[in-house]
Structure 1
Amino acid sequence: MEEDRMKTLRQCKYTSDASFFVSNYCFCHKKKADFLNLNPRESTGTGYVVEINPHEGLYLSYANWTPKINMERKYCILKKFVKLYFLECGDITLIQNGKKKSTIQHGVNLYLNKPSSGRVLYGSMTPIRYVSILLHEEYFDRISMAFPKDGLSLEDAFLWISDDYNAPEISKIFMQIRKKMIEGITSSMYYESKILEVLSLISQRHQLEQHNYKNTYLVISQDELYLLKSVGNVIRQTPISPPSIEELCKISTMSQTKLRELFKKVYGIPIGKYIQQCKLEQSLVLLSGSSLSIAEIAGKLGYANTSKFSAAFKRQYKKTPSEYRTTT
């Protein structure tokens, strides 16, 4: 039986996350309307994954499941694709052949398959929730023909690798997609409009970062740029309790004055404002994905009171937290 399973696995052509859940983890699967519903076996986990294929080469997934045991997924994928995903929570480690292992960060992540092989590790008893957008070459071919001047080919996408796309406006779109998938909405027009919105924002951010880099490369070395990116990633991963300025100086091996100066050159805003942006981005997840009251969210994010949180939220998103919650 195991030999038959491995034979099926080798023959399984990767098209989406469902390929792995069915072949590697033996998830039960059933088609309902336009959604593919996947559930882990009782012995290995609880929860579910849903997937929809609104257009050729485009797959959207929403996962909300908890492994009961440590799980490992080996992969060897021989085709190029781009995967964007918003990880709300989960203990997930990626080990690519020839590279150091990396813990998948909460928030918006970008994965480019070149092709490559490696392993994905899921930690036991830690809930995994994410929204995933998987784009194959045929989908990029379609949108690059429709919008030839917008830099949306697969080749363009593979230039995005060094950029930080964990931005509030992008996170918000992932939350909107999640809401519609949970509600069972199957509108291909809706999903495709959101994908184009995400890709447009990412393309714009990439172009802006390239412009900023050209203006700063004379004063910032590649090593310094790497360290500054590390500082930004640490803040992004711990928005509720971000490191102190002293800890950030240790990470960057810079003095406070130099760190503050170069951080602003690279990110366009001071460290303090970047931390506040990350807190507000985390509030989007808490407002749409938890039962916490607005007062509890304000306290969790370190605001002195609800009024200060609401004022900061409205400055950023042009609506109050309660208005946002009612529309997501």
Structure 2
Amino acid sequence: MEYTNEFELGWGAMAEQAGLKINRNGLYTYYEIPDIWENGWIMEVTPAEGLHVASAWFTAKEQIEYTMHIEKPCLWIFCIDQGSLTFTQRGKPARKLCPFTQLYISNGKPLRLSIAAGEPVCFTSLLIFDSWIETFLGANGISYPIRVSDAKHWLPAHVDTPLAMLVMEQLRWGVRGNRLPQLAYLCKAGELLCLFAHALDQARYKRQRRHYVTWENEQKLFRVRELIDKDPLNTPGTEALCQLAEMSESKLRIAFKALYGKPLYAYIREAVMKRAMQLLAYDELSIKNIAARCGYENPAKFTAAFKDVHGITPSAFRKGFGL
């Protein structure tokens, strides 16, 4: 099998195979959707060799199947707004990407990406090659555990954080509106990887042996976390979560905090506020509307919670991106 050329082309490698019309203008590339897709687009910025930042919104009439065979070690980072994207690789179970920030490590084996038909897809992605990471570290004269080989230690809890999502949103609107200079994309990509590594350091520092979680209970807690992330605005009550985890309420709360480093209620609030950040992109929704969707009758309390999680108010977020 021949290698596909994601290193140079990013999403352009798939675009060429799918027959998308490709329009390049300096660092920016716009992929026009062909007739086999209903509508939408993919926009991509390539600020440096081995680094591709993209934002996409489209609906496929038929299921899309694309196999990548990438020779060089790299990381795929996605922030999913909506839609169904599934990665399949030999020797590993198929992985359907959930909402919010997700990481996939490419190890040189063929990697199949499946996108479901008839379902709107919206995401932001970074494709980061190890060679770019080495260049980034060398240019700054530092050494930090953010290489592809280090990423195997990053768990979902280290990747899917409010700070990481804020960076992904900054990149999303930078790509869509050509709002960021070339250097900003380099800095933001480096910042994102450093946030992952720092979250791992913090988790190691905070871990308490007396609250050790068994592998079996980790799998149960993962189901709870996955259910929350799937639709945080409609998270089941504590009783239902306890049934899913097969734990008492006290055991669920203790084990969840031990594994993910934060109380269950705090994790749910963060998930709600991450979804709220995505909803701010919808022009037809006022902040009052979004507050109500998130379960807040009082918009002021919603604003306070949003700022507590993201460090910025909803109105300031919209103003900062011209939304």
Q: Which moved more, 1:274-283 or 1:95-104?
A: 95-104
Deviation at 1:140, TM superposition (A): 1.6
Deviation string, structure 1 residues 30-66 (Cα, Å, up to 9, x no partner): 2123211111211333211111111121111111221
**Residue of structure 1 aligned with 2:167, choices 149, 173, 198:** 173
Question: Which residue in 2 is equivalent to 1:206?
Answer: 200
Q: Does 1:14 align with 2:9?
A: no
Deviation string, structure 1 residues 279-301 (Cα, Å, up to 9, x no partner): 11111111134431111101111
CA distance in 2, matches of 1:262, 1:114: 32
Name the aligned partner's letter for residue 13 of structure 1: N
Name the aligned partner's letter for residue 287 of structure 2: I
Q: Is the 1:94–1:102 contact (alpha carbons within 8 Å) kept by the matching residues of 2?
A: yes
CA distance in 2, matches of 1:118, 1:135: 16
Question: Which residue in 1 is equivalent to 2:70?
Answer: 77
Deviation string, structure 1 residues 142-189 (Cα, Å, up to 9, x no partner): 123335332223322333256442111111111111112111246211
Alignment of 1:109-258 (within 5 A): 109-145=102-138, 146-161=140-155, 163-185=157-179, 187-213=181-207, 215-216=208-209, 219-258=212-251
Q: Which moved more, 1:255-264 or 1:314-323?
A: 314-323
Question: Which residue in 2 is equivalent to 1:273?
Answer: 266
- Secondary structure at the residue paired with 1:288? coil
Q: What TM-score results when the alignment is normalised by the length of structure 2? A: 0.90
CA distance in 2, matches of 1:302, 1:147: 47
Q: Which moved more, 1:222-231 or 1:107-116?
A: 222-231
CA distance in 2, matches of 1:252, 1:105: 19
Quick one: structure 1 residues 318 and 50, their matched pair in 2 at CA, closer, same or farther if it must change by over 3 Å? closer
Q: Which moved more, 1:128-137 or 1:245-254?
A: 245-254
CA distance in 2, matches of 1:124, 1:41: 14
Q: Does 1:99 align with 2:77?
A: no
Name the aligned partner's letter for residue 308 of structure 1: K
In structure 1, stretches of 5+ residues that fail to align are 1-8
- Secondary structure at the residue paired with 2:114? strand
RMSD of Structure 2 on Structure 1 (CA): 2.1
Q: Which moved more, 1:53-62 or 1:222-231?
A: 222-231
Question: Which residue in 1 is equivalent to 2:50?
Answer: 57
- Secondary structure at the residue paired with 1:116? coil
CA distance in 2, matches of 1:162, 1:172: 16
Deviation string, structure 1 residues 55-90 (Cα, Å, up to 9, x no partner): 121111111221122222233333311111111111
Q: What TM-score results when the alignment is normalised by the length of structure 1? A: 0.89
Quick one: structure 1 residues 155 and 318, their matched pair in 2 at CA, closer, same or farther if it must change by over 3 Å? closer
CA distance in 1, matches of 2:211, 2:298: 43
CA distance in 2, matches of 1:58, 1:206: 23
CA distance in 2, matches of 1:79, 1:100: 22
- Secondary structure at the residue paired with 1:299? helix
Quick one: structure 1 residues 151 and 30, their matched pair in 2 at CA, closer, same or farther if it must change by over 3 Å? same
Q: Is the 1:144–1:151 contact (alpha carbons within 8 Å) kept by the matching residues of 2?
A: no
CA distance in 1, matches of 2:116, 2:226: 21
Name the aligned partner's letter for residue 202 of structure 1: F
CA distance in 1, matches of 2:282, 2:149: 35
| Aligned length, in residue pairs | 318
Question: Which residue in 1 is equivalent to 2:256?
Answer: 263
Q: Which moved more, 1:49-58 or 1:105-114?
A: 49-58
CA distance in 1, matches of 2:203, 2:170: 26
- Secondary structure at the residue paired with 2:281? helix
**Residue of structure 1 aligned with 2:79, choices 86, 96, 113:** 86
Deviation at 1:120, TM superposition (A): 2.0
Quick one: structure 1 residues 14 and 196, their matched pair in 2 at CA, closer, same or farther if it must change by over 3 Å? closer
In structure 2, stretches of 5+ residues that fail to align are none
Q: Is the 2:166–2:310 contact (alpha carbons within 8 Å) kept by the matching residues of 1?
A: no
